[in-house]
Amino acid sequence: GRRNHKGKNRGCVLTEIHLNVTDLDLGYETKEELIFRYCSGSCDAAETTYDKILKNLTRKKKIVNDKVRQACCRPTAFDDDLSFLDDNLVYHILKKHSAKRCGCV
Amino acid sequence: AADTTNPCLKATHVCNLSKKCVRLRTDYASICTKGAGSDDMCDHRKCHRALRHFFEKVPEDFTKRILFCPCQDELCGERRRKTIVPDCSFQYNTKPNCLWLLDSCLEDHICKSRLADFQQNCQPTDMSPDGCSQHNHAACLQAYMGMIGTPMTPNYVSNFSVEVSLWCTCESSGNQKEKCDQILSMFESNKCL
């Protein structure tokens, strides 16, 4: 995939964890397991001029709006769907449940 | 976290560690369960194609474990029977005559060649310890998996045994009863399999 721009925001990375499907707390009763991948890390270094301006304006209280946010470490692509059989042996499909690539967006 | 008492569940866990196995299992599961609940809504052809892809492209280590897991209890047996989503891939409203099933298999070039393969590799005999005249039980299992996703898709008949069969009957076969029984017996009560 696309590398983080020139080593910047190295903080935002894909991490994986082996879980039971029930750990997801989505209401399924099953003994199946999955590999869950998520994005974590800092996006402080991911600054564009836009981000710098926002930061400066917020600091100077030129803008006071909660909804203005700095870049976040988020999935830019999701893993393939995942199927599993629940305890009643009914198939379920999870979509967009796990990250495939991460980025500061 | 693994439930070690259910070999079929364990086989699923092993599959879940392989990206390819997960992907192709999910492919067939989503296609074969589409329209589930409503009457006869699933697309048998698409479901069969996705099942063939799974058994062709996923390494045998995974597919064999999932399909031939040894069960001690009903829950395990039900998981094993439901592996191929039989509601869409195996059971239909009415059970046709097995010779009709054979005809539709012979009209389909994939099914025809897979059946020839199955007949050759799973020929039973009393003479050898594994019951296979080719002395190759593994090749027979492979050939059996090849039949899944064809018009002659076999499956387990219950959650309690390893007996397999086709979704067809030899009742009212008339003077072709013998030929019909012969086809059916390749799957039912086959010593080699």
pLDDT, tens only, B42-96: 898 999 999 999 999 999 999 999 999 999 999 899 999 999 999 999 988 889 9
Using pLDDT thresholds of 50, 70 and 90, give the confidence band for residue B4: low
| CB-CB under 8 Å, B33 with A91 | yes
CA distances from B38 to A88, B33, B79, B111 (A): 18, 11, 22, 28
Inter-chain CB proximity B13 and A32 less than 8 Å: yes
pLDDT of residue B38: 59
The residue type of B115 is L
Name the band, by pLDDT with cuts 50, 70 and 90, for residue A4.
very low
Confidence category of residue A97, pLDDT binned at 50, 70, 90: very high
* CA proximity to A72, closest of A93, A36, A50, A41: A41
A16: confidence class by pLDDT, cuts 50, 70, 90: very high
Distance from CA of B84 to the nearest CA of A (A): 11
Arithmetic mean of pLDDT, A37-61: 86
Helix (H) or strand (E) holding B117: helix B109-121
Q: What local confidence, expressed as pLDDT, does residue A74 receive? A: 94
Rg value, chain B, Cα: 17
Inter-chain CB proximity A83 and B25 less than 8 Å: yes
Res B132: pLDDT: 86
Query: Sorting pLDDT into bands at 50, 70 and 90, what band is B156?
Result: very high
B6 with A31: Cβ contact below 8 A: yes
Residue percentage of chain B with pLDDT more than 90: 69
Q: Among B1, B22, B32, whose Cβ lies nearest the Cβ of A82? A: B22
Residue with tokens 């001029």: A49
Higher pLDDT, A61 or A23: A23
User: Which residues in chain B are closer than 8 Å to A32, comparing Cβ atoms?
Assistant: 9, 12-13, 16
Q: Which of A89, A92, A95, A100 to mutate to test the interface with B (most CBs of B within 10 A)?
A: A89
- Which of the two residues, B167 and B38, has the higher pLDDT score? B167
The mean pLDDT of chain B is: 90
The band of B39, judged by pLDDT with boundaries at 50, 70 and 90, is: low
Which pLDDT belongs to residue B1?
40
Residue carrying structure tokens 């397999």: B164
Give yes or no for B25 touching A (CB within 8 A).
Answer: yes
Run of H or E including B138: helix B137-147
A83–B16 C-beta distance less than 8 A: no
Q: At B165, is the pLDDT very low, low, confident or very high (cuts 50, 70, 90)?
A: very high
Reported confidence tier of residue B157, pLDDT bands at 50, 70, 90: very high
Q: pTM, whole model, 2 decimals?
A: 0.84
Q: Which of B6, B16, B25 sits opposite A35 (nearest CB)?
A: B16
Chains A, B: CB contacts within 8 A come to: 45
